[in-house]
Amino acid sequence: MASEQDRRDPRNRRPAGVTDVTVQALGALSKALETTERARGALYEFHQLTGSADLCLDDAVRLLHEAGHHSHADRVEHEILGRNVIPGHWTFQIIEEYNATYYRPFHDLEKSMRDELVEGTDHVYEAEMKEARRSKRHPDHTAT
């Protein structure tokens, strides 16, 4: 009899009647969504880096004034400080539009398809890969 650690996790089991191709398709969809998550993270990194750079401009403006370069300080302050990164938008607005236009609809579609096709079960493809690749009764290859 298999130990508790060798029994497959029921949270990731394929529902009865679900084909291999369906599992593969949902695995590909999940991978695409995960890639979108990474892209979204890159947007947040872009947002934070751009915001940090903009805040550093305060020091540049102050130091240019201290050095007596008032026209240069004024130029930085008026031409770059607080500037839109694309017409009409700061970085937070780009993220908001990305989330509303692409990320949330993609996330919702992926969940809806899992609900419809595999009773909402998450990571069926990966769970089956884990099961196929693990060494039974090895302490670092447990099912759960």
CA distance 86 to 99: 17
The 10s digit of each residue's pLDDT in 14-33 is 899 999 999 999 999 999 99
- CB neighbourhood size of 91 (10 A): 19
What is the pLDDT at residue 46? 98
- CB neighbourhood size of 73 (10 A): 20
The arithmetic mean of pLDDT across residues 37-45, rounded, is 98
- With b meaning 16 or more CB within 10 Å and e meaning fewer, what string describes 4-40? eeeeeeeebbbeeebeeebbeebbebbeeeeebeeeb
Contacts of 134 (CB under 8 A, 6+ apart): 141, 142, 143
Q: What are phi and psi of 62, to 5 degrees?
A: -60, -45
pTM equals 0.81
Token pair in block for residue 4? 């508790």
pLDDT value at 143 more than 90: no
